[in-house]
Structure 1
Amino acid sequence: MTLPYDDRFPRHSVAANARRAADLVNVLAGEGSPAEVRAADGTDRPRPGTAKGPGADPDPVPGTTARTDRDAGAGSRVREEAAGTRVREEVAAVLRAYGEEDPLGLTTDDLADLRAAALRLREVFAAEHVDEAAARLNRLLAAGTGPLRLTSHGGGTPWHPHLDADDEAPWAEWFLASSCMALAVLLWDRQRPPGGVCASPSCPNVYVTEGRGPNRRYCSRRCATRERVAAHRARHPPGGGGPLTPRERRGRGSRA
């Protein structure tokens, strides 16, 4: 018997949950997250005038230290708030893209907890061997998920499995549990790591391993093409007499 197609189902599929996990990890645990923005601001570095020794800044003019500290603190708070707003918008965009409906109600605490979950999930994507990925997933399943249950969210969706405590679980608990379940099923089905970290040195993104073909190394065609072109140019530097790439041939023709 063939069940009638329900267009609500794909958002609850294993593949969709795994891709959503990767997308949220990239937003929350990649470069430019709030914690990394704070570190980039240098707020934990010694302020001018506090480090002593050769090359240290001179002592500040009396009466200016308090004002400088206030200005630096205000600037840091503005940057942190801007970074937090950007990340909240990006997280919300991912959630909506995978079928979550407004109002999402993401709070600052939610974002902090989601980031902590994303950092733990990133370790699964970073595992290079299936045994390592399985061990990391087992630790997350033991520490951060509840018993398996089925839910239809009060009849609003097809029946599907959950590993969080209930349908009103906090965002981070839901994210960690649903991601662990999807990644575990992919590992079980394919007997290899469920994903990876992009091999491009300039890209921190993770990706889901699709299908049963050769293991992929890059998160996107764009990264793969960029690294392939860079490798070609390294082997054939300008003036070295090596073959040109199609883009280089087009560029040379336009300059002629």
Structure 2
Amino acid sequence: MPGTQPDFAGRSARDAVRRAVALLDVLLAEDPSPDSVAAVLVEYGEPRPQLSAREVAELRAAALELREVFAAPDAASAAEVLNALFAAYAGPPRLTAHDDNFGWHLHVDAADDGPWGAWLITSSALALATLLADRQTVPGGLCASPSCGKPFAHLGGGSPRRYCSSRCATRERVAAHRARLT
């Protein structure tokens, strides 16, 4: 069928949240490089961008704002943060296919060629809000390990997670066990 891009068909809010978490992981690290940020964008289906240091700084500032959604203690608090992000950055909803390079999908940023920071906030906030509305719970959290604190997404069923990975959970469980022994 002309105009369809099967490689990009079926993009979902979950995929956009996974991309947001991966970008936040890179952007919240100390001094992220343009190449490391571009690699994450490419991994999640974006065309290879040529990012400047200024654009990476803009994306990092956006990541710090998005981190507050993951830090929210409950759905109402997360919704409040998301609504504030929409009020500050979003425009009217619009459908775009990016010059037929991607399948049709929803955007709430101002333009396809807008600033990277606004794109990260609006695309991530839209996906996080969709998950919050669908599941009626916070769409993610921050790792409970004091040595980590990375954002993570709640994408599956089951009880809410406290840690970003099994590695952090195991490290904290072992530390608690050792503390009880002493």
What corresponds to 2:52 in structure 1? Answer: 107
What corresponds to 2:81 in structure 1? Answer: 136
Unaligned runs of 5+ in 1: 35-85, 238-256
Aligned-partner SS, 1:99: coil
Query: Is 2:62 the counterpart of 1:117?
Result: yes
TM-score normalized by structure 1? 0.66
Distance 1:123 1:87 in 2: 23
Coordinate RMSD, CA, aligned: 1.7
Query: Is 2:29 the counterpart of 1:87?
Result: no
Aligned-partner SS, 1:125: helix
For 1:195, which of 117, 135, 140 is the aligned residue?
140
Q: Deviations over 1:196-251 (max 9, x none)?
A: 000001102100112231010000111111111111111224xxxxxxxxxxxxxx
Aligned-partner SS, 2:95: strand
Query: 1:108 deviation in Å?
Result: 1.7
Unaligned runs of 5+ in 2: none
Task: Name the % identity.
Answer: 52
What corresponds to 2:8 in structure 1? Answer: 8
Contact (CA 8 Å) 1:190, 1:212: kept in 2 or not? no
Contact (CA 8 Å) 1:197, 1:205: kept in 2 or not? yes
Describe how 1:176-215 pairs up with structure 2 within 5 A: 176-215=121-160
Contact (CA 8 Å) 1:144, 1:173: kept in 2 or not? yes
Query: Is 2:48 the counterpart of 1:24?
Result: no
Runs ≥4 residues deviating over 2 A: 4-7
Aligned length: 179
Contact (CA 8 Å) 1:196, 1:208: kept in 2 or not? yes
What corresponds to 1:227 in structure 2? Answer: 172
Distance 1:140 1:5 in 2: 30
What corresponds to 2:43 in structure 1? Answer: 97
Distance 2:9 2:166 in 1: 28
TM-score normalized by structure 2? 0.92
Distance 2:23 2:76 in 1: 24
Q: Deviations over 1:5-42 (max 9, x none)?
A: 933225x3111111111121222224x2x3xxxxxxxx
